[in-house]
Structure 1
């Protein structure tokens, strides 16, 4: 594992996984400064969830560092950007800095390439539960496109966009290995799927 200094964007309910992208609208001055700094250096930002309240709020132990792959600088100083995850990280300590944004020292987690595939039974179970969950929630999904995804993209993609609470999202991020994450996803969809949803119909594609 490799230790690295990471500038972080704490955001509740938003989880980034390696290989996936998340769009962000940056408007707070401290995070506009974060983006400016990242663009001048390595284009990297660490996404991590805060744990509870306070100022600054404490952080969960794990997040995911991403690289800015697309950015639009607006005239008023705001940014629209796309962040692509490339490695999970574990927080070692928070650094004492003068920047308006927080920075940490973290170790990057090397993913085990051997555990990046599901058995046909595990894949079928995940797809079946995903369809049940989507139908129960009133989501519209392009299942033909879903079927073409590799196992890693399928599992991490569902984990990233599913409307679970912050604690559940964090548990998915911290799950070690694709099989463990897929099993947890099935359990979470069964649990949350039993709830009645008053949310309007959304499209997940």
Structure 2
């Protein structure tokens, strides 16, 4: 990781950002995420970002009936929850005023934690798409969501307080800090890649510093959405590396236990 004059410093990140909800897509601080943008609402989102600091928040929608890491159900409404739904109240007031009912915009619930990225590469295509690359800067916690913007994309108020160290990490040099045990990781990783039909430049992996390797593997490996969320919310690099190693080991062992196919 190296300091970049274009990256915002601590205290310079905005209180409100546009977000791009994508299931199974993970952006981490110092990670690099290419995106193919073609929906009109997300074209509008990128246009907005290019005019406003080039920042886009990546966040996963909560999957219906998805079990969280503690055995609970994420994204399921508690029948005993008596909190007021502001949209329902507004619909009732509109009905009392005799106003025509407005169409309801259904947007999936979002995880509270996401990661903001800065657009570092941008390209237009002849068929009306944007090809962009985001550099991960810092995680955030969503504290409030605004009504859908006129362009159709979503914007949220965020807090950076819990993840102030993310920007500081970007200014530190990459290192082999003993974050991972490569003698344990590489054999399991090779099995994991074989199971998923993936290829890799193993010499390049050996040369990659620990912190960059953990970030890259967490982002590109085909983990489940809930697993990727756990990696995102890990408090530090060491914890993230431990979770990643566990996920890879579990998948590799399950592959070893799979029955052989008889011809």
TM-based fold match above 0.5: yes
Q: Deviations over 1:27-60 (max 9, x none)?
A: 1111010011111221110000000269200001
Does residue 9 of the first structure (1) align with residue 10 of the second (2)?
A: no
1:89 equivalent in structure 2:
140
| Pairwise CA RMSD | 2.4
The change in CA–CA distance for 1:121 and 1:68 in structure 2 (over 3 A counts) is closer
2:96 equivalent in structure 1:
none
- Please report the TM-score for the alignment, with normalisation by the length of structure 1: 0.84
Structure 2 distance, partners of 1:179, 1:44, is: 27
Secondary structure at 2:139's aligned position in 1? strand
Q: Deviations over 1:134-157 (max 9, x none)?
A: 244443211111112121111111
How many residues of Structure 1 are paired with residues of Structure 2 in the alignment?
A: 195
Higher Rg: 2
The change in CA–CA distance for 1:178 and 1:98 in structure 2 (over 3 A counts) is closer
1:192 equivalent in structure 2:
251
- Of 121, 124, 141, the match for 1:70: 121
Q: Per-residue deviation at 1:183?
A: 1.1
1:126–1:182 CA contact under 8 A, matched in 2: no
Q: Which runs of 5 or more residues in structure 2 are unaligned?
A: 1-9, 65-104, 259-263
- Please report the TM-score for the alignment, with normalisation by the length of structure 2: 0.67
The change in CA–CA distance for 1:120 and 1:95 in structure 2 (over 3 A counts) is closer
Structure 1 distance, partners of 2:155, 2:53, is: 14
Does residue 167 of the first structure (1) align with residue 191 of the second (2)?
A: no
Does residue 104 of the first structure (1) align with residue 156 of the second (2)?
A: yes
Q: Per-residue deviation at 1:173?
A: 0.7
More strand by share: 1
Secondary structure at 1:18's aligned position in 2? coil
Structure 1 distance, partners of 2:47, 2:212, is: 30
Q: Which moved more, 1:126-135 or 1:72-81?
A: 126-135
Report 1:34-183 matches (<5 A).
Answer: 34-52=45-63, 55-99=106-150, 100-108=152-160, 109-111=163-165, 113=169, 118-119=177-178, 122-183=181-242
The change in CA–CA distance for 1:94 and 1:165 in structure 2 (over 3 A counts) is same
Secondary structure at 1:34's aligned position in 2? helix
1:117–1:179 CA contact under 8 A, matched in 2: no
